[in-house]
Amino acid sequence: MPSWRPNSLRVGPAPRTIPDGIALETGLDGGAAFIPACPAERLGDPSFCADHRLRYPYVAGGMANGIGSTDVVAAMAREGMLAFFGSAGLTVAEVEAAIDRIERSLGRSPSAPTFGFNLIHSPQEPALEAAVVDLYLRRGISLVEASAYLRLTLPLIRYRVAGIHRDADGRIVAPHRVIAKVSRVEVAERFFSPPPEKFLRELVSRGEISEEQARLAEAIPVAQDLTAEADSGGHTDNQPLVALLPTMLALAGEMMARHGYVEPLRVGAAGGIGAPAAAAAAFAMGAAYLLTGSINQACVEAGTSPTVKAMLAEARQADVAMAPAADMFEMGVRVQVLKRGTMFAPRATRLYDLYRAHDSLDALPADQRALLERDVFRAPLDEIWRRTRAFFAERDPAQVAKAEADPKRKMGLVFRWYLGLSSQWANAGEPTRKVDYQIWCGPAMGAFNQWVRGTFLESPEERRVAVLGLNLLWGAAVLQRVQMLRAQGVVLVGGPGRIGPIPAVEVRERLRPQA
């Protein structure tokens, strides 16, 4: 492998090889070319790393049900990168236990590594969303990733403005930061706007904030950082990153001018980033940072089963499909999942089609009901309702009352039983339910597998989440320098070649600043 270093280099008119191992010909104008240093720390927006106390502009998104595990969070933090714990789908007690584990691992002193927790929009369970915010505020979680939001909610705004004040120099300080993950411009505009007046008024009336704090909140955005989520795993609108990211960047500029914010609005990139070329392209388009998800799920530290990791390691770019989302089933929201080796997508889609076509479980055609009980639920639907009722009686009793008063809502909860457990079966590696595994996955997984084929990262047992991130950053930095050469008229003999992944010790050494 080439022994690349990020130092500056001047290339004269004679053919030679730069430390990247790339052979050069004379520049087209016969002159010299200059390749400036390109440390990975300088990719993206340097203010992002400075504000969040990171070394690298790289984030591991909060994969739900603890797939974005405490081990993922700790491993990323120790390398100077950011990760969010995947709290979506977990109980408040489970999320608090994760806080305890991370604090024991990383500490909570002012100098401790940065980490965050996911906060997912829960339109079907608003009480749960509010309880999670209560937990985060009580336990001092100062950074959240807001995901799957269709609209802003009172708990989200409460989190953002809690403790807002002016410092000794008169600057507004909001101690709780939000990094929003969105794929629609109209949603991005809400996050880049100040908190809605109606929510601030309600928080004042409830005694949650003062009048002065409400006035201060009018001068800050709900989220200073926003991740443009393109064609990703899980909740996604399948937008191409090359179209979505520039649109979000333009919006950030418009919102800065409209509201006159003191601090810059920043846009990161997510979706489809599974190889150095994609990372380099995102940075070249202006991304402040990168966020990855699907590829981290296949790593040793991820909180899912070895069976799932092996399935992901076999995935190709076309091995994904859209399926109904468990948390927003009745609304028709869909998520992107792995289709290779599982029947989840077609079975979940069939449930949604039946939900739309009928008003209750009793209205289902007898033959369809029999197929569901035999192949999907593997139990009578009446029994599934008893289990569902018991679950919600403990988690959210209001759901039971609404379902017993509305047969269609009851049907939705029963169908969500399958969608909810399908991801748990995958995480646990339940062998009798492999065909029903719900595995969130985007095409980046296939691109990653193609990139690492024939290398040490081909095996799931060797995939470490921080090593993946460092290699993507290193490869992006190399490709950025290659592009600088091309822009100066230098001809690359045979192109840049394959920039494959390298082991942990070596990639850390290559990323180490040179004297």
**Domain residue extents for the chain:** 55-304, 310-438
pLDDT value of position 459: 95
pTM of the predicted model as reported, rounded to 2 decimal places: 0.92
pLDDT value of position 16: 46
- 193-237, pLDDT tens digit by residue? 999 999 999 999 999 999 999 999 999 999 999 999 999 999 999
Which of 32-41, 95-104, 224-233, 293-302 bottoms out in mean pLDDT, i.e. has the lowest? 32-41
Q: What percent of the chain has pLDDT over 70?
A: 92
6 Cβ contact list (under 8 Å, min separation 6): 37, 38, 39, 40, 477, 510, 511, 513, 514
Lookup: tokens for 222: 């709900």
Q: How far is CA 511 from CA 39, 49, 514, in A?
A: 7, 16, 9
pLDDT value of position 508: 93
Beta-bridge partners for 120 = 147
CA dist., res. 278 & res. 419, Å (int) = 32
pLDDT value of position 365: 97
CA dist., res. 385 & res. 478, Å (int) = 56
pLDDT value of position 165: 98
pLDDT, the chain, mean: 92
CA dist., res. 364 & res. 314, Å (int) = 38
357 pLDDT more than 90:
yes
CA dist., res. 241 & res. 443, Å (int) = 12
CA dist., res. 211 & res. 118, Å (int) = 29
Q: How many CA atoms lie within 13 A of 499 on its CB side?
A: 27
Chain position carrying tokens 């977990």? 90
- Give the three-state DSSP class for 334: strand
Q: At what angle do helices 276-284 and 444-452 cross, to 10 degrees?
A: 130
Let me know: does 426 contact 437? Beta carbons within 8 Å: yes
List helix spans (H) across 340-442: 344-357, 366-371, 381-395, 397-405, 407-428
pLDDT value of position 4: 42
Q: Does domain 55-304 have CATH number 3.20.20.70?
A: yes
Beta-bridge partners for 144 = 117, 178
pLDDT value of position 30: 54
Listed residue (94, 103, 196, 84) closest to 145, CA to CA: 84
Stretch 286-290: mean pLDDT: 98
CA dist., res. 211 & res. 372, Å (int) = 55
Residues in the chain: 515
Q: How far is CA 170 from CA 210, 214, 512, in A?
A: 17, 16, 38
Per-residue DSSP letter, 435: G
pLDDT value of position 109: 83
- Long-range contacts formed by 403-409: CB under 8 A, 24+ apart: 407/359, 407/360, 407/361, 407/362, 408/355, 408/359, 408/360, 409/330
Stretch 250-256: mean pLDDT: 98
CA dist., res. 201 & res. 214, Å (int) = 8
Per-residue DSSP letter, 341: T
467 pLDDT more than 60:
yes
pLDDT value of position 3: 40
CA dist., res. 388 & res. 249, Å (int) = 44
Would you place residue 29 in the very low, low, confident or very high pLDDT band (cuts 50, 70, 90)? low
- 109-151, pLDDT tens digit by residue? 888 899 999 999 988 889 999 999 999 999 999 999 999 999 9
Would you place residue 487 in the very low, low, confident or very high pLDDT band (cuts 50, 70, 90)? confident
| Sign of the four-CA dihedral 335, 340, 346, 351 | negative
DSSP string across 403-418? HHH-HHHHHHHHHHHH
Listed residue (40, 36, 100, 92) closest to 73, CA to CA: 100
pLDDT value of position 9: 47
Let me know: does 290 contact 270? Beta carbons within 8 Å: yes
Per DSSP bridges, beta strands 234-235 and 334-338 are antiparallel
CA dist., res. 412 & res. 59, Å (int) = 35
CA dist., res. 288 & res. 268, Å (int) = 5
- 366-401, pLDDT tens digit by residue? 999 999 999 999 999 999 999 999 999 988 898 999
Let me know: does 208 contact 162? Beta carbons within 8 Å: yes
Chain position carrying tokens 């990703």? 232
Neighbours of 431 (CB within 10 A): 9
Neighbours of 310 (CB within 10 A): 15
Neighbours of 461 (CB within 10 A): 10
- 57-91, pLDDT tens digit by residue? 999 999 999 999 999 999 999 999 999 999 999 99
